[in-house]
Amino acid sequence: MAAPIQLVVALAIVFSSVQTIVQGHGYNVQPYKESYFDQFVDHFNFLSFGQQTFKQRVLTQDKWWKRGSGPIFFYTGNEGPIDEFWENTGFVFDIAPEFGALVVFAEHRFYGKSMPFPSDNFNSKNVGLLTIEQALADYAVLLTSLKKSLNATGCPVIAFGGSYGGMLSAYMRYKYPGIIAGSIASSAPIYLLDPNFPKTFFWKTVTKDFNDASSKCVARVRDAFSIMNTTAAKGDFSTISSKFHLCNKLTDLVQYRHLLLWIRNAFGSLSMMDYPYPTDFLANLPAYPVKEACSYLMEEEDSVVGLSKAAGLFYNGTNGSLKCFDIFSEYIECADPTGCGTGDAGAAWDYQACTEVRLPQGTDGTTDMFPVLPFTDEIRQKYCFKRWGVVPRDSWGKVQLINLDLKGASNIVFANGNLDPWMGGGVLSTSNPGIKVILIEGGAHHLDLRSANPMDPASVKQARVVQKQQIQQWINQWRQNVYRI
């Protein structure tokens, strides 16, 4: 739906480039207006790039907005094209009408179409501008300019985000409380940035998810990996390649190791996307894909073939269009053992995983069901220096952003689901009265931010009720403070 004439005129002051209506695809997805905001390349060094700007992609929908008084619902874009998050964050659109909210989704620098440079974005000179601090400043500058242009300086801004975007949502409230009235941070593993926080939770939870789906599932996975290791040790890569329908046969143990990582990545992703209904977020998946994968494992007499089908569920989805698997293009090893993705987005996340965002460790085959595929601090440092010429500074996040004790933080809801392998890095309890913690039984990765669905468990319905109550409370607080001023 086209924006009212008044809003188009106002936005023209803030945004450059042609604005077009784009219809998204997916469950209950709203159309959006795509615009581009002239954003500073470097907010913190006046000399490095001077006044140089880049086009930051922004998606908006104003059909529910009570102009000049309604709140602004702002999604803090994370590690991918912003339209993907627009299509999978229906909760914002479900509640925007009753709040009379303007909806704004901003794309993270170095992702999607928001590239700071025409080319060479990932060379050593330019990629250093890919930081959490720069991204947060992008959002703060955008919101400040947008509110001024729309004569909406008194309108409260509520930040929303899931996963890394949830971390950014929380950080926005913490760093810019004069701009953000409150934040909904779903599946946000903020404790990963504390160097002393254990990083072994992810693969343990993935294993638990599969065990809960079927008590025999984990044993079948372990059996398959054991048989594969024995086969690979004999140099019989042809048999393994055939059972996994690989486009190109494995030739050595190095390539075999990559296959193991490809499989592990699939299981981690299935666990994250274990929604109670079919989705197409990371892949075309059926309802409860973990249970579906376990059924593949159990129905095959050959456990290796079962493992192949289970992993293939993620890469091939429910349509089964792939005739063979190209494991080297479908999975790229990086500084995130849970997977960086591919293309420019994968490269960008790899760099962030080598600098500010420390991700979970590898697998040990004891506390989890996977082969021994370690990713220690030493391995990470060597990889990051070789790939990017940097050494991670894991202590910086604890200094710059929210601490474990959450001192100084307020007006944030942290929501986590027990099916989500990222839950172990999230806020599960706090003594801070300004922070609300919600635990969602039967919830996978930021399920609460998705559109309401008839298959939703009661726990996520209740979580959304609490979130709405908190949002209304924050809006009321903001308006009272503005009135006092």
List the catalytic residues: 163, 420, 445
What's the N-to-C CA distance of the chain in angstroms? Answer: 36
Please count the other Cβ atoms lying within 10 Å of the Cβ belonging to residue 247. Answer: 14
- Whether the Cβ atoms of residue 268 and residue 202 lie closer than 8 Å to each other: yes
| CA–CA distance, 422 with 444 (Å, rounded to integer) | 9
| CA–CA distance, 4 with 19 (Å, rounded to integer) | 13
| CA–CA distance, 239 with 39 (Å, rounded to integer) | 53
Q: Which helix (H) or strand (E) holds 209?
A: helix 201-213
Residues with Cβ within 8 Å of 98's Cβ and at least 6 positions away in sequence, in order, are none
DSSP of 248-314: S---SHHHHHHHHHHHHHHHHHHHHT--SS-B-SSS-B-SSHHHHHHHHHHH-SSHHHHHHHHHHHH
| CA–CA distance, 263 with 370 (Å, rounded to integer) | 9
CA distances from 440 to 187, 423, 445, 463 (A): 10, 10, 10, 7
Alpha helix (H) ranges present in 89-129? 90-99
CA distances from 410 to 18, 58, 154, 181 (A): 38, 27, 20, 9
- Whether the Cβ atoms of residue 271 and residue 187 lie closer than 8 Å to each other: no
